[in-house]
Amino acid sequence: MGARCSDCIRSRPKQVLFADVKRQLKERTMIRRVLITGGAGFIGSHLARELVRSGYTVRVLDNFSAQVHGKSSRIPDQFENIEVIEGDVRTRAHLKHALRDVDAVYHLAASVGVGQSMYEVHSYVENNTLGTANLLQLLIENPVERLVVASSMSLYGEGLYKSADGRVHFETRRPLERLKKKEWEPLGAEGESLSALPTPESKRPDLASIYALSKYDQEMMCLLMGRTYRIPTVALRFFNVYGTGQSLSNPYTGVMAIFASRLLNGKTPSIFEDGKQMRDFVHVSDVVQACRLALEGPQAVDHAFNIGSGEQITIQEVALRMAEAMGKPHLVPEITGQYRVGDIRHCFADISLARTLLGYRPRVSMESGMRELIEWLAGQRAVDRTQEAREELAVKGLAV
């Protein structure tokens, strides 16, 4: 890389610096009223509370899906001073009502679940793609000062790899024939062994599920329409988000919540393949930090950013650590040796672009984040639907 930012600042005229500061302050003061679609969900509720603490006026639109919120569909705890509208992004009237007088929009509303998306195709496309189209149609008529859309690491498919000779492999897939033989690791085009690398935003998407396709739709639609109608837009590609408040009874949620549900019910965590697949787990407070920076940072506009911890860990190690921390080390993870259609082997984030342009700095280590999560879990109850979800996948031929 070239000169450090401090060197760049010293070389620029003072009047330019002053103009930059004035512009940033103006942009920030223009944004006071914020809408969060899907704002009663896991990430949205954390973000809503943080924005209120920072002086923003916050409105939430959420359909309180039973799969995410349970049958009670109650408003999240500590939602004082937050306006909540029960409605659906698929319904134009609901969106129009929610968008009145807002300066910025966080678009978090989406159906989430790689496996489920492969048999609930219409629902995922309707919620994620059509719901986003509804939002953008209304923003054409009533543009806002900033649009931030939640994207996903799932759009990469497999992460980045390299072979022993140093060649980087951008497109890697695992043939079903090898997976049926429990040969889990990807190989190069000539059958050579590969090792995983941090995945940058420059890696071309390789969509392996309807969920991934719909998230890519959301990202690209927002960025495209943002450029066309001069709506400053930012896409955040979240990696594996975890933390307090995640739905524990949703079998299609994050893997930590699924493991927690099993452990709370005295059952062993169940893991596909051999458990050695690597992921990047990022604490929800760091995701909220990135969301704030995307709203307030002028350099963020028209970019898609990886938002992760920048570190990797195996799924098996996560399960072992959780069982130990919850005082249940005897509940050793069950390695199923099964493959779920749409899953990938390794993907973890290169966050250098977010560091440079957003000023993003992950602050919560896996150790402290998991400790906080375990403390919260002590007062929670969960309905374990993991087996039910697996049976559904098996019936559809999506787990082999």
pLDDT at 390: 84
Residue 172 has pLDDT above 50, yes or no: yes
* Residue among 64, 384, 124 at smallest CA distance from 251: 384
- Mean pLDDT of the region 141-152: 96
Q: Are strands 278-279 and 313-314 parallel, antiparallel or unpaired?
A: antiparallel
pLDDT at 1: 35
Work out the pLDDT band at 394, boundaries 50, 70, 90: confident
Higher pLDDT, 307 or 12: 307
Helices marked H in the chain: 5-11, 14-30, 42-53, 66-69, 92-99, 114-117, 121-124, 131-141, 176-180, 210-228, 255-264, 284-296, 315-325, 352-353, 366-377, 386-395
- Mean pLDDT of the region 57-62: 97
What values do phi and psi take at 81, rounded to 5?
A: 65, 25
The pTM score is 0.90
Higher pLDDT, 20 or 359: 359
pLDDT at 364: 97
**Cα angle at 54 between 51 and 56, to 5 degrees?**
60
Work out the pLDDT band at 11, boundaries 50, 70, 90: very low
Q: Which range among 66-75, 97-106, 283-292 shows the weakest confidence by mean pLDDT?
A: 66-75
31-395 topology per CATH: Rossmann fold (3.40.50)
pLDDT tens, residue by residue, 36-54 = 999 999 999 999 999 999 9
Output the six-digit token pair for 174: 């695992």
What is the residue-averaged pLDDT of the chain?
90
pLDDT at 13: 37
Work out the pLDDT band at 296, boundaries 50, 70, 90: very high
Neighbour-count burial of 141, counting CB atoms closer than 10 A to its CB (0-12 exposed, 13-18 middle, 19+ buried): exposed
Residue spans per domain, the chain: 31-395
Residue 18 has pLDDT above 80, yes or no: no
pLDDT tens, residue by residue, 125-141 = 999 999 999 999 999 99
pLDDT at 94: 97
* Residue among 37, 36, 18, 20 at smallest CA distance from 28: 20
Work out the pLDDT band at 383, boundaries 50, 70, 90: confident
- Mean pLDDT of the region 245-257: 87
Higher pLDDT, 301 or 388: 301
pLDDT at 71: 65
Residue 23 has pLDDT above 60, yes or no: no
pLDDT at 21: 40
Work out the pLDDT band at 7, boundaries 50, 70, 90: very low
> By percentage, how much of the chain surpasses pLDDT 70?
92
**CA 393 vs CA 23, 178, 275, 342, 363: distances in Å:** 52, 20, 19, 11, 37
- Mean pLDDT of the region 355-360: 97
- Mean pLDDT of the region 363-388: 92
Q: Which range among 71-85, 259-273, 364-378 shows the weakest confidence by mean pLDDT?
A: 71-85
pLDDT at 391: 82
DSSP symbol at 298: G
Residue 328 has pLDDT above 90, yes or no: yes
- CA gap 198, 183 in Å, rounded: 22
Work out the pLDDT band at 72, boundaries 50, 70, 90: low
pLDDT at 73: 60
Residue 17 has pLDDT above 60, yes or no: no
- CA gap 347, 313 in Å, rounded: 10
